[in-house]
Amino acid sequence: MQEESGQHLERTGIRPVSPGDRTYGFFDLFWNWFGDGANASSWYFGGLLALSGVSILFWNTFFWTPLIILPWATLAYMAYRTGGTTVVLARPALGVTGGSLFLGVAETVVQIGWTTVTTYIGAVSLVQIWNGGEGTADPSSGKAALIFPVALIALLQGAVATLGPKAIRILKWIASLLLLGFGGVETYEVLSRWDLSRILSYGKSAPVFTPMQLLDISFINIWTWLQVGDFARLSKNPRVAVWASWLGIWSGQAWFVLVGAVGVIGLGLATGHSSPQDSDPARLMGHLGLSGVALSVIFLSSVSVSSSNLYGAGMAFDALWTGSGKTPHSRKALGVVSLIQIVTSFLPLFFASFISYFTSFLSTIGGIFIPLWSLVLTDYLWYRKRQLDVPSLYDLSPGSRYWGRGGFHPPGFLALGLGIAFYYLFPRMAPAVVQSVGVTFPTILWTGGVYFLSLRWRGEEQLCRIKLPADEGEENG
């Protein structure tokens, strides 16, 4: 019976899940996000934070990051209450057709893009394991050696993703427990090499970014975990959806950020100089002589994270599949995106430096999802007062509650378009201001403000605030 439910879920991914399909308990979802947070890019980011000083590292990790995760966890709550995938969350603000089209394309592309990052890091680690830990993390002369491991990892993670949430849940449990063991050994080795007082007193070395730029990157790192709704909808209750997601992603990321930071600081203390390139996990662990265990951790986390990303891409592609008039079939959608990522996983090999690819990728996707989630959360929390008509979210017929004009909601698209433009143009127009306040907070305020004014201009402000009957509102969330 349980197997039949799982098959039903995989064939109807865009539709709301039934109570019987909500099988993720607290630790199922916690380990899912812990494994995603404890990834090589978090390690990499920790090294970049360390170059700006220990105080910036601690403020970012223990104060700002938990706060940044809260709005993201609200998306998890929305997904639980609506029972829909991440794509469904954009339908009230952008229209039933517009939300599916925009977020369906964006999530598919970006999630596949994230797999190029994690696959490359995992492939570099695999090559170094085969070479006994020798070499560097970005050897331009050795990129040919990465072709086979990139293909191998892409095939492995694609197979797991295609099998769906049940297989991913098993992988996450195994991967997270192994990460605890391997990562624990690695953390002990790193901390035991240098005196803690020297690490804590480490000052700025060779900062690549300003503190506000690092805060902007933190927003991007968290708010682009786009599969948040795809997994939260499977939770047994709303507390699991919100707090297992929040605690899992923060604890996993904070741990690996600190390990990466301490490693870079320790290497700086040992050699007398630090470089942004030392933030690369494979290069860092090679210098520290921890290649075997550390590189195994990187490889394992890369496959685990990519499987989760590909599942999100498959759910988004399934929404596009449905929008084109075809019968939804998640298993086919997952198979398609898994095949696509086998090709795209080779993209980093065409860049001279992985750090340039990584930072360019982050800055590009940030301009899309910071405004998007600002719009979605403003619409849900402020204008609709957390009241959504759930059946209407899945009603694609003309004239339905979230139909808008031709399936698109003009105020939402106006705010989104101007928000994206603001994110990219503001740093060029006011670089001194961006140095002080960053680009994320101004973009959030700008996008929300434009949406408010556009609703008033079209006379929709009160329409958005129409309350459902008490019993319906409670049922539909």
The per-residue pLDDT for range 165-203, each reduced to its tens digit, is 888 888 888 877 877 777 677 667 767 777 777 777 776
For residue 14, give Cα distances in angstroms to 125, 163, 169, 309, 331. 36, 17, 19, 17, 12
For helices 281-288 and 165-193, angle between their N-to-C axes, nearest 10 degrees: 40
pLDDT at 250: 96
58-62, 276-280, 318-322: which range is least confident on average? 276-280
Q: Which long-range contacts (CB under 8 A, 24 or more apart) does 274-278 make?
A: 274/50, 274/51, 274/205, 274/206, 275/206, 276/47, 276/48, 276/51, 276/206, 276/208, 276/355, 277/137, 277/138, 277/355, 278/47
pLDDT, tens only, 344-367: 888 887 777 666 676 677 677 878
Find the length of the chain. 477
User: Is residue 284 pLDDT above 70, yes or no?
Assistant: no
Give the C-alpha separation, 109 to 97, whole Å. Answer: 18
Identify the burial level of 476 via C-beta atoms within 10 angstroms of its C-beta, where 0-12 means exposed, 13-18 middle and 19 or more buried.
Answer: middle
pLDDT, tens only, 357-408: 766 776 778 789 999 999 999 999 988 888 889 899 888 888 888 988 899 9
Q: Is 2-353 a CATH 3.60.90.10 domain? A: no
CA of residue 38 relative to chain centroid, distance? 12
User: Is residue 468 pLDDT above 60, yes or no?
Assistant: no
User: Is residue 323 pLDDT above 60, yes or no?
Assistant: no
Give the C-alpha separation, 157 to 305, whole Å. Answer: 9
Q: For 51-164, where are the alpha helices, taking DSSP H only?
A: 54-59, 65-82, 91-94, 96-130, 147-163
DSSP reduced 3-state for 77: helix
